[in-house]
Amino acid sequence: MKIMMVCLGNICRSPLAHGVMENMVKQAGLNWEIDSAGTGDWHIGCSPDKRSIEIAQSNGIDITNQKAQLFNQSFFTEYDQILVMDKQNYADVIAMADSQQQRDKVSLFLVDDEVPDPYLDSNMFTYVFQLIEKRCKELIIEWKDNSINK
């Protein structure tokens, strides 16, 4: 299975989700590919925010090699699941879809909620990491036994 994590700038939330899920998938022995992108183009080619790097490292996860990229239409073909961190980015990604099949691949990362953007509040990074970690565990349990997603 190929999973794309999406937020606004691809420097805070989606790199964390990318790194956490990639780490958990590896530990579970699953052959899944994880990546991340942003709907905004401000940080293309940049490393994740230093605060995302720090909270990941403090939890044994290295995201320093990630580089921000812009979400593009080809990702609908390349990925099986596209998980978006908030409703505005969800709307932006859905607007790029050409078909119902593409729209069906897109969902909010949290079932009925948004992952808050910690960019303007350094104190939010721990909370955001914890939300992401909990949801990644749930997704692995949900998807690992689904033969369609192996």
Per-residue pLDDT of the chain (150 residues; tens, 9 = 90+): 999 999 999 999 999 999 999 999 999 999 999 999 999 999 999 999 999 999 999 999 999 999 999 999 999 999 999 999 999 999 999 999 999 999 999 999 999 899 999 999 999 999 999 999 999 999 999 998 874 444
Q: Known catalytic residue: 51? A: no
List residues bridging with 113 in a β-sheet.
110
Residue-averaged pLDDT of the chain = 96
Could you give the C-alpha distances from 85 to 14, 99, 140, in angstroms and in order?
A: 7, 21, 17
Could you give the C-alpha distances from 15 to 96, 117, 148, in angstroms and in order?
A: 21, 12, 26
Q: Known catalytic residue: 35? A: no
Condensed to tens digits (0 to 9), the pLDDT of residues 26-42 reads 999 999 999 999 999 99
Give the three-class secondary structure for 46: coil
Catalytic residue among 7, 49, 51, 136: 7
Q: Any idea where the domains of the chain sit in the sequence?
A: 2-149
Q: Known catalytic residue: 7? A: yes
Position 20 scores a pLDDT of 98
Catalytic residue among 49, 51, 117, 136: 117
Catalytic residue among 12, 13, 49, 86: 13
For residue 131, the one-letter residue type is: L
**Is CATH 3.40.190.10 the right assignment for the domain spanning 2-149?**
no
* Tokens representing residue 107 in the block: 């969902």
